[in-house]
Structure 1
Amino acid sequence: MSTSSQQGATIWLTGLSGAGKSTITEALAPRLRAAGHRVDILDGDEVRQVLTADLGFSREDRITNVRRIGYVAEVLSRNGVLTLVPVIAPYAEARDAVRERHEKAGTPFVLIHVATSVEVCAERDVKGLYAKQKAGQMTGLTGVDDPYEEPTNADLRLDTAGRSLDESVDAVWAVLSTRGLI
């Protein structure tokens, strides 16, 4: 397929910090590129440094953050890019708004719930957030002392505990293939 005629899509990976969203994304992206797709990544941590640096972590700010990322993802996807979005996105309201934006534009949207338990995420503690929260050095950690509303409309529910990275990537690949996106 020629890159100029490729259909784009947003592949949104939601889940707790440490669930495996970015790890899956970083393994999936080169595989998609090798298959001839245009791919971009809108990583939540990176986007927060630039596009949404003005926002805090209140419910309203988190919703605004997700909506902004969703807007950029839809624009990229509408223009033929497979856009991978590993973002916590804790509120159903914000995720639903992003899905609705995509549907109105006729742009494919795939929601992957990386449903790894908070206990496993805390064991991984990739960023040291769970340790800081436990030590009383921070509050507002999604899934611990701030809510995470699990998606009820995910295209794939993926628990990375006890599953290899390759198995996780294969599961996402299968959903994308079934949807005719790759």
Structure 2
Amino acid sequence: MLYVTSGLPGTGKSTLARQLAPHLRAAYLRVDTVEAALLRFGIQASVEGYAVSYAVALDNLRLGTAVVVDVVNPLAVTRGAWAGVAAEAGTPLVNIEVVCSNPAEHRRRVEVRHDDPANRAGEWTPPTWASVQAFAQEFEPWQGERVVVDTAGRTAEEAFTALRAALGV
């Protein structure tokens, strides 16, 4: 099974994906980590990070390992590419959209984030609230089925419980 956890920075998608992967005994694949590693070697990553992530996910799926992807995934073309990975592997795809419907809470989360060099190869820096707002303007509307988890007003554990209930796992 391929689980693609998507959403704007600061919504809680990474927290949920990090909880979901061990719960399912799945591989965890964070596109930010892939892009940071490419940057560390002088490769300015955009589509390259996604392309590497698609290939790594496909390898794991072909081995029979479930994969939980942690990615912003703002475009219909990238969402379609993840569907293509699942189809090529002959496995189901579950799209999970993580949102934070409370703008003040979302902003607070973004503004208190800190860099985590151990997790991002030292090349990632947290987004600003202005950059998240600009990114939101480019976020294309979803088409098709997905599980939506609103993390506003919930602890990480409460949001994870809601996600597990929605997925039936």
TM-score (norm 1): 0.70
Alignment partner of 1:43 is 2:27: no
Question: Unaligned 5+ residue runs, structure 1?
Answer: 1-8, 134-140
**What per-residue deviation string (whole Å, max 9, x for no partner) do you get for residues 83-111 of structure 1?**
11111111111111221231233122211
CA RMSD in angstroms comes to 2.5
Report what 1:124 is aligned to: 109
Deviation string for 1:12-47 (max 9, x for gaps)? 111001110111122223333xxxx3x221112211
Moved over 4 A (4+): none
Given that residues 44 and 86 in structure 1 are in contact (C-alpha distance below 8 angstroms), is that contact kept between their aligned partners in structure 2?
yes
**3-state DSSP of counterpart to 1:49:** helix
Supply the AA of the counterpart residue of 1:122.
R
Which residue pairs with 1:72 in the alignment?
56
Identity level (%): 29
User: Which one has the bigger helix percentage?
Assistant: 2
Residue 48 of structure 1: CA displacement?
Answer: 1.1
- Give, in angstroms, the shift of residue 73 of structure 1: 1.2
Deviations 1:57-104 (A, max 9, x none): xxxx3x443343123212212212221111111111111122123123
Give the count of matched residue pairs.
152
Partners of 1:117 and 1:144 lie apart in 2 by 17
Distance 1:118 1:152 in 2: 23
Q: 1:81 to 1:172 in 2, by over 3 A?
A: farther
Verify the 8 A CA contact 1:55 1:65 in the aligned structure 2.
no
2:64 and 2:39 map into 1 onto residues whose CA distance is 24
8 Å contact kept, 1:112–1:158: yes
The answer (yes or no) to whether the contact 2:38–2:44 under 8 Å persists in 1 is: no
Query: If the length of structure 2 is used for normalisation, what is the TM-score?
Result: 0.74
Q: Is the 8 A contact 2:19 2:160 kept in 1?
A: yes
The CA distance in 1 between the partners of 2:13 and 2:147, in whole Å, is 13
> For residues 1-182 of structure 1, what are the structure 2 equivalents within 5 Å?
9-32=1-24, 37=25, 39-51=26-38, 54-56=43-45, 61=46, 63-117=47-101, 119=103, 120-125=105-110, 126-127=113-114, 128-131=126-129, 133=130, 141-144=131-134, 147-177=138-168
Structure 2 unmatched runs, 5+? 115-125
* 2:12 and 2:99 in contact (8 A); partners too: no
